[in-house]
Structure 1
Amino acid sequence: MSKVVLITGGSSGIGKSIAEFLTNKGFVVYGTSRNPDRVKEDLSFNLVRLDVGDTASIQSAVDTIVSKEKRLDIVINNAGVGITGPIEETPREEIHKVFSTNLYGPIEVMKAVLPPMRKQKQGLIINITSIAGYMGLPYRGLYSASKGALELVTEAMRMETKDFGVQITNLAPGDFATNIASGRYHAPVLTGSPYEKPYGDTLNLINEHVDDGGDPNDVAETVYKIINTTKPKVHYKVGAFMQKFSIVLKNILPDKVYEKLLLNHYKL
């Protein structure tokens, strides 16, 4: 029997790559979008409406899939948004939005899928986080915080659900060539702001390298390997060597030395 997969944010970027890859491997895949009607291209997988900021929308999508397929084997919490800016100058509502999508949304998805997974006594949840979630990056601190928080929530929920036959894990990608930048909130570079030059320079650096990321199919292949692992680890990383190695350095270097490396990288 083909396993049934739900992927949030499955209409573009990493989510779409995962959906296409798993469909080609014979899985029954349901991707999601806040507005499926706006997706004009023909997709090889099912697309249902789901807004991670709307609990009723989440529950409706899960109920629809379970009703049709009689099961839900794998859930990939992929939907996410980017944000840049000095924390001091980032509007409160934008801070709430990024946490709503990157943290509260995945939590609500897990709360919705755990009952059917517990009933069938098996299931796998993969939370797509970020290597940025392992460190506070200048002018990306809110994004780092939202993804880092999801890593810790996953650690806790693994222990809380260990008796249900449900497995939960994190997959932290580095930089990949997707369209995330088009939906990223950029706090404006304010003339006369004390952050005008350092933030402006950092934003230019980020934008210059936005298309230099790896192939999203690398993430899809890692997801497939996790699915075929009997006992998934707590954390997985996928990305360029130096991006993954940066986590190792953070664990072994004194805090101020590591901070100096980041400052040098961003030319701050």
Structure 2
Amino acid sequence: MTTHRPVALVTGASSGIGKAASLALVEAGFEVVGTSRNATGVTQRDGVTFLNLDVASDASVTGVVEQVISRFGRLDVLVNNAGIGSAGAAEERSVAQDRQVFDINVFGLIRMTKAVLPHMRAQGSGRIINVSSVFGFVPAPYMAVYAASKHAVEGYSESVDHELREHGVRVLLIEPAATRTAFDAQLPQPDTPLPVYAKQRQIYDQVLAAGIKDGDDPALVAKVIAAAATDPKPKLRYTAGPTAGRVSTLRRVVPSRLFDRQIRKLNRLPG
């Protein structure tokens, strides 16, 4: 089977931002393949073809990309959305927990990128859209490893974008702020919780839950992803939503000492 319509592959598409992005891309005229670790066989929902994918597995990543190319004959857009968060102070988390975050958020994204690039280069066009976060450019106390993974995504994406432009391929970043998803409900707690951090960890959990409750609709982020996929002259970075836009501006223009003070205030940190 081949198609003349553009084809998009979206990881982590079963819920939240990934689900909304898949539907937005269908509406924008794409054939959309969504992936999930829990997809059984090949199914279709709301115009999206679902495949099972574990971005932490080389074999799974290679197999899914080959399936998409075999089924549709092309691949125009990859949305790297699959990811997990982290909770707790950095000292409380085991290296194994931290490694899992990087294996999905960073190396999963890298695996997917490496798998699609030969096809995109061969057709002389393509877009890789990486879902980052405002935590890709600001600190996140009590989610340090998550922030570190998103900082890594930012550096990787911007660097690879420079490598690929001459081949007709762009690597773009989406930077949402808090979004109304189940993100906070899925955070694995630290392996070795320490009493010294208990009070502040609980405070941060409350701050995060309140931020997500009042956060942006995933459809807003999805609209930005669809824009990145279709803009005639795409930008490297797309902040998604008014909060993300404000944070990005403040990071650039506010003196570092004042910005640092604001981070502590927002996260209800002493001093």
The answer, yes or no, to whether TM exceeds 0.5 is yes
TM-superposition CA deviations, 1:211-258 (whole Å, max 9, x none): 2211111111112222221221111101233x4222222222332221
1:168 positional shift = 1.1
Secondary structure in 2 matching 1:30: strand
- Write the letter of the residue equivalent to 1:257: L
- Write the letter of the residue equivalent to 2:263: L
Residue matched to 1:187 = 190
In structure 1, C-alpha distance between the alignment counterparts of 2:42 and 2:71, rounded to whole Å: 22
Distance verdict in 2 for CA 1:39–1:46, change over 3 Å: closer
Residue matched to 1:200 = 202
TM-superposition CA deviations, 1:24-47 (whole Å, max 9, x none): 333100000112029999443100
Residue matched to 2:230 = 228
- Write the letter of the residue equivalent to 2:150: K
Q: Tell me, yes or no, if the aligned pair for 2:41 and 2:51 is still in contact at 8 Å.
A: no
- Write the letter of the residue equivalent to 2:240: V
**TM-score of the two chains, using structure 1 as the length reference:** 0.93
TM-superposition CA deviations, 1:93-140 (whole Å, max 9, x none): 110011111111001100000001111111111001001111111111
In structure 1, C-alpha distance between the alignment counterparts of 2:73 and 2:158, rounded to whole Å: 28
Residue matched to 1:25 = 28
Instruction: Tell me if 1:86 matches 2:93.
Output: no
1:207 positional shift = 2.2
In structure 2, C-alpha distance between the alignment counterparts of 1:14 and 1:173, rounded to whole Å: 10
The worse-fitting range, judged by mean Cα deviation, of 42-51 and 24-33 is 42-51
Residue matched to 1:257 = 258
**TM-score of the two chains, using structure 2 as the length reference:** 0.92
Secondary structure in 1 matching 2:212: coil
TM-superposition CA deviations, 1:141-190 (whole Å, max 9, x none): 11111011101101110111122111111111111111222322232794
Distance verdict in 2 for CA 1:264–1:94, change over 3 Å: same
Residue matched to 1:111 = 114
Q: Tell me, yes or no, if the aligned pair for 1:131 and 1:244 is still in contact at 8 Å.
A: no
The worse-fitting range, judged by mean Cα deviation, of 101-110 and 232-241 is 232-241
Q: Tell me, yes or no, if the aligned pair for 1:189 and 1:199 is still in contact at 8 Å.
A: no
Instruction: Tell me if 1:167 matches 2:175.
Output: no
In structure 2, C-alpha distance between the alignment counterparts of 1:51 and 1:80, rounded to whole Å: 11
CA RMSD in angstroms comes to 2.0
In structure 2, C-alpha distance between the alignment counterparts of 1:39 and 1:61, rounded to whole Å: 11
Residue matched to 1:210 = 212
Residue matched to 1:55 = 58
Number of aligned residues: 266
Secondary structure in 1 matching 2:50: strand
